[in-house]
Structure 1
Amino acid sequence: MTANKKEQFPYEIERLSDEENKEVTRCFNGGVVWKFIRIGPQKYFFPNIYENFAERIYNLELRKDDIFVASFPKCGTTWLQELVWLINNNLDYDRAKTVILNKRFPFLEIEGVVGTINTESNEIIKNKMEGAKKALIPMTFDDILTMPTTSPRFIKTHLPLSLLPPTLLNNNKMVYITREPRDVVVSFYYHTKLMRIMNDEPDFKTFWKFFKNSEVIWAPFFQHVQEAWVQRNHPNLLFLFYEDLLNDLRGNVQRVAEFFGKSLTNEQLDELCEHLTFDNFKKNKAVNLEDMIKTGVFSKDGAFIRQGKSGSWRDHFDPEMTLEADRWISENLQNTDLRFPNMES
């Protein structure tokens, strides 16, 4: 293992006022008893239970060959996880199709963002969480710490780099993926509805306001992306855009393979790209979390793997919202050289 010098968590934690918290949570379903916090100078937004894990995650004892996939939510993370896992596991399609991705590639902070479900007062919520545990194994931070010593250990996170161990890029490889921010908002909205966290009150316009104001978990979006963008030339970080994978899957599969020092034949590239095509990916029960729908954790009205395309934001933003988004994007890209592919109004 890579011995980390244990450090005190370096960021201040601000708790939302009762009034702010009431506004943010008014759209939530019963059984969810979140209170929220903001962390550090970027004011990353989390449920208050994350405070119990912040220092532990910051001081996570890394293994020298740990591999991370990171992103803001709904940027193609699951797609990238499958790609990274297969490249580093000799293209073991049999295992990839039979062992759920969350078991092969666990979610680092999952316990710190879903542990606020009140399972005592609501039997329906309790049953849903039991179903979630089966689909999201390992479910706890300790589960990840005690994963078998077989190497490498694959870890997914939606945390920004500043909340992860500060020595991570010294020894460990990370692939970070991001996406057109307006498409992220749309996808995050449908994901939140799928998870049945929100009641029927909030329409997309309401959710857009929460997102723009950085009142969704893991926000603010641009600061999250910018932290990885400034490290894009680091030899242990590969920075990808979701749109580039859509437009040239083969070329970007090759980039990921080269990043990990792997060589793929033309036939292997063809087979891997075929496995990762949207139609095949959506049908793959090891990645599409079908069991979450069967157990009632997810709504029957949606799907975890939803559309696999870009530009759907145009179907959701009215002219007023489009102008707001243009200003929001322009303000946040000011004084940076970060640009998203195919970014236009």
Structure 2
Amino acid sequence: MDIVNVDETINDQLQKDYRAQKGGFVQVGEKKWFYPIRYRKLAAQFKNFEVRPDDIWITGYPRSGTTLTEELVWLLTHNLDFDKSKEVSLSSRVIFFELDMLLNENTEKEQKFPEVLNTCKRGRNHLNKLNEDKQRRVIKTHLPFELLPPDILKKGCKVIYVCRYPKDVCVSYYLLQKQNQFMDFGAGFEKYWRYFLEGKSIFGPYFEHVKQGFEMIGSKNFSFVFYEEFKKDTRSYLMKLSEFLEITLSEKEIEKTENFIDFDNYRKVNNITVRNTNNELVPFVRRGKVGGWKDYFTEEMNKQTDEWIEKNIKKIGIRYPQQEE
């Protein structure tokens, strides 16, 4: 699949906005998947990664609710080990498959904080860590299916695609990339919103990503879920996952898991963080609010986004939970 550098003029502007991504960006294949330039070095490793039949892959566009789903899946496949969940970070228990791609080498060389250098070191070793892991692996990825190992479903892996309403995704992803020192997005929300719609938000285009997940519905060992389902009825979401993973829970286990994963409670217990540009720890899991986009969109932005959404959902055939209410 062709990997081409983004047009030079556009690339210059993108580097000014994504200040930690020195060297620029590439676009991949006919869909023009948008990634940091380091993807070029790692593409073959991602595609040729050796999967195992008992792997569980959790995917979806960034900020779509994958984090809470990862935690639930890890608990379900590890005998509801709540103590370990509190003691060992989620990022150590569920490996972010392509993290290395996001860690810019030039920015890393300029890094003054040892904590960040340690994060970079761990990120460079993620694929090796997965290969060395003897336990059942739960793997997180934001890559679309066409860029992942081709035999994921053929080998019997379980795959869960998490989807979320695009306006909420856009706001949540903007806030993450603005505060995360590995992105350091320096422009305002309106500019980021335009990048998001144009497919120039990292891991974009959004609707092409969703389309590849939506078209997999009905495949063996594949489940497509909405983050809004989790927010509306956590128990039903938990039961849907446990049934998919072929795990039976007692009523007591259901109640305990439901309480543990309650959004506000989970934020307090697990306190997942990232480091901002001042090397301060900031929450990775934010409010998780459905409809939070209303605090950021102007009337004109909302009108344009609605037209963009309507055009794409007609092509795909998808209906978001908000549209059914």
* TM-score under structure 1 length normalisation: 0.88
For the 8 Å contact 1:160–1:227, the answer to whether it is kept is yes
Partner of 1:160: 144
Distance 1:314 1:89, change over 3 A: same
Deviation at 1:84, TM superposition (A): 0.3
Amino acid at match of 1:220: P
Equivalent residue for 2:184, pick from 168, 187, 198: 198
The equivalences for 1:7-46 within 5 A come to: 11-29=1-19, 32-46=21-35
Partner of 2:98: 109
Residue 323 (str. 1) matches residue 307 (str. 2): no
For the 8 Å contact 2:108–2:120, the answer to whether it is kept is no
Partner of 2:166: 181
Deviation at 1:114, TM superposition (A): 1.5
Partner of 1:7: none
**C-alpha distance in structure 1 between counterparts of 2:259 and 2:180, whole Å:** 29
Tell me the alpha carbon deviations over residues 54-102 of structure 1, each in whole angstroms, 9 at most, x when there is no partner: 1111111111211111111001111000000000111011111111111
The equivalences for 1:274-289 within 5 A come to: 274-285=259-270, 288-289=272-273
Distance 1:133 1:207, change over 3 A: same
Equivalent residue for 2:116, pick from 129, 132, 139: 129
**C-alpha distance in structure 1 between counterparts of 2:111 and 2:144, whole Å:** 34
SS at match of 1:119: helix
SS at match of 2:17: coil
Deviation at 1:133, TM superposition (A): 4.2
SS at match of 1:235: coil
Deviation at 1:336, TM superposition (A): 2.3
Distance 1:148 1:141, change over 3 A: closer
For the 8 Å contact 2:55–2:138, the answer to whether it is kept is yes
For the 8 Å contact 2:111–2:117, the answer to whether it is kept is no
Residue 265 (str. 1) matches residue 250 (str. 2): yes
For the 8 Å contact 2:108–2:117, the answer to whether it is kept is no
SS at match of 1:335: helix
Residue 60 (str. 1) matches residue 34 (str. 2): no
Residue 172 (str. 1) matches residue 172 (str. 2): no
For the 8 Å contact 2:33–2:205, the answer to whether it is kept is yes
Q: How many residues align?
A: 323
For the 8 Å contact 1:177–1:240, the answer to whether it is kept is yes
For the 8 Å contact 1:176–1:228, the answer to whether it is kept is yes
Distance 1:199 1:161, change over 3 A: closer
**C-alpha distance in structure 2 between counterparts of 1:315 and 1:81, whole Å:** 28
Structure 2, unpaired ranges of 5+ = none
For the 8 Å contact 1:178–1:241, the answer to whether it is kept is yes
**C-alpha distance in structure 2 between counterparts of 1:314 and 1:175, whole Å:** 28
Structure 1, unpaired ranges of 5+ = 1-10
For the 8 Å contact 1:97–1:284, the answer to whether it is kept is yes
Amino acid at match of 1:92: D
Equivalent residue for 1:232, pick from 217, 222, 225: 217
Deviation at 1:128, TM superposition (A): 5.6
Q: CA RMSD in A?
A: 2.1
**C-alpha distance in structure 1 between counterparts of 2:92 and 2:99, whole Å:** 13
Distance 1:228 1:199, change over 3 A: closer
Amino acid at match of 1:311: G
Deviation at 1:12, TM superposition (A): 1.2
Deviation at 1:177, TM superposition (A): 0.3
For the 8 Å contact 1:72–1:224, the answer to whether it is kept is yes
Determine what percentage of the aligned residue pairs are the same residue: 30
For the 8 Å contact 1:85–1:154, the answer to whether it is kept is yes
Amino acid at match of 1:107: F
For the 8 Å contact 2:21–2:104, the answer to whether it is kept is no
Residue 309 (str. 1) matches residue 293 (str. 2): no
For the 8 Å contact 2:130–2:137, the answer to whether it is kept is no
**C-alpha distance in structure 1 between counterparts of 2:111 and 2:46, whole Å:** 31
Question: Segments of 4+ in structure 1 off by > 2 A?
Answer: 115-120, 126-129, 131-134, 137-148, 196-200
**C-alpha distance in structure 1 between counterparts of 2:292 and 2:195, whole Å:** 19
For the 8 Å contact 2:25–2:36, the answer to whether it is kept is yes
**C-alpha distance in structure 2 between counterparts of 1:264 and 1:145, whole Å:** 28
Higher fraction of helix: 2
**C-alpha distance in structure 1 between counterparts of 2:160 and 2:38, whole Å:** 27
Tell me the alpha carbon deviations over residues 99-152 of structure 1, each in whole angstroms, 9 at most, x when there is no partner: 1111111100010122444233x243x546325348xx45424433433222x1
Partner of 1:89: 78
